[in-house]
Amino acid sequence: LKMYFYKLFFNVLYLCFITNVWCILIEENAYTGVAISFSEHIKEPSFKFEKLKQVLRKSSEFLYQASKKRAYFKEFIVILPPQWVGGFCSDRAEEPPEKVNIFISDLPGSLQAQNSKGCGQEGDIIYMPLNWTDGNTEDLAIQFVQEWSTYRYGVFEETPLKKDACYLSPNKIWSPVGCYNAKIEASATISEDDGLSSCKLPDEFVPKEDLKSSLMFKINNTGARHFCNGSESFPHNPVMPTLHNNLCEGKTVWSVIENSNDFKHGKNSPSNFTVPPSPTFKCYKEENIQLTFAVQNSASSDITLVVQELRYSLYRFIRNLVPVKSALNLVTFSDSSDVSESVTLNIEDYDELLNTLDTHIVTTKKTNACLLCGIQRALNASQFKMHPSPIVILIAWESA
């Protein structure tokens, strides 16, 4: 008895009709093309553009100091949702950014860089809650440089991995975990529950005015202006239990940054500016999403149940994740004799959407499926687009 297992294959083909899209560049110490996007749930009046500009301008100054005058922000691209007017924009970008670097969310939380690629690698994105800009400008600017460093350079916090705030050296001396410019001893206590030693920061540690710490040492960053470089001012202990040491094998933060693609081999050597030029902010008006689904509707065996699941999954995806003003097309394909036309999906009427999917996403029993025919049909449905228009190919096949 031969059993067949059916699989669904999802593939996205990005048709790049435009090649001169924006991406982050650094030339002569200046970052350009840093793209900021918004959740569609954010209303335009709630966005505090002037405060964000203040924070990012100050961030540019802090980054310039911390990078030893080797980097600053020259240009940000603000991607406006289609429904926004954008009256606060005085300068416009003509082309869309290649990717979003900073995503402003309507959800609560703290500024957070996501880096899934590890030490020394550029990360995924920076999440910025809308209300994050309500704080003190300088404090927020330092936070932004910290998260930018995780995102761009692949360096991480120098705070403890666990709850313990201190480290016991080979000389049996307790010290706060981190990178800072002073010798500070702490005292340990023995837990009555498990008999293990634990340590807390000295009371005077955080408010200590003359304490200068590394930017990535987030417990005390009031005087943070530099990255830990292992110098006498900022000694580095490669075995301290920090996230950065764990992920970067004990390397100093600055050594990882200096070896990044932005600076290695002497690229972007120190500039002569005392203070870097202030960054500019260009706005790009986002267009409504345009997407084409190409669905195989034939197979050599009966895959009725698989197609039912496909229809329902596609319906849930469109209803829950696709913005309301999006333009969606559906094309189906089987063999080379199939001449069915593309269909426009009405995503504002869920009953009509479900009925359209039920009508057109069906299965017929045929030996061969013409994938190239499906791709060509999807291309034809997307030809009128001026900007890159994704095509999602949904294929069902059988494997013994």
Of 189 and 263, the structure prediction assigns the larger pLDDT to: 263
pLDDT of residue 5: 35
Which H/E stretch holds residue 243?
helix 243-248
- Give me the phi and psi of 10, to 5 degrees please: -110, 125
Q: Are 109 and 127 in contact (CB under 8 A)?
A: yes
Q: Are 83 and 17 in contact (CB under 8 A)?
A: no
Tokens of 347: 């995503």
How far apart CA 166 and CA 173 sit, in angstroms, is 10
Spell out the domain ranges in the chain. 25-154+260-285, 156-249, 290-395
With CA atoms as reference, report the closest residue to 140 among 40, 25, 62.
62
How far apart CA 56 and CA 259 sit, in angstroms, is 25
Q: Are 240 and 167 in contact (CB under 8 A)?
A: yes
**Rounded to the nearest 5 degrees, what angle is found at the Cα of 109, between the Cα atoms of 26 and 71?**
15
Which H/E stretch holds residue 199?
strand 197-199
pLDDT digit string, tens, across residues 101-158: 999 998 888 999 999 999 999 999 999 999 999 999 999 999 999 999 999 999 999 8
pLDDT of residue 17: 31
pLDDT digit string, tens, across residues 225-240: 789 888 877 888 898 8
Q: Average pLDDT of the chain?
A: 81
Greatest mean pLDDT range, 214-218, 271-275, 311-315, 353-357:
271-275
pLDDT digit string, tens, across residues 313-348: 888 888 777 776 788 888 887 776 766 788 888 888
What is the rounded average pLDDT of the residues 298-315? 77
How far apart CA 23 and CA 181 sit, in angstroms, is 37
pLDDT digit string, tens, across residues 165-220: 778 777 888 887 878 777 777 777 766 676 666 676 666 665 566 677 788 987 65
How far apart CA 247 and CA 110 sit, in angstroms, is 22
Strand partners, 128: 104
Q: What pTM was computed for the model?
A: 0.71
Q: Which residues contact 185 (CB under 8 A, 6 or more apart)?
A: 173, 174, 175, 202
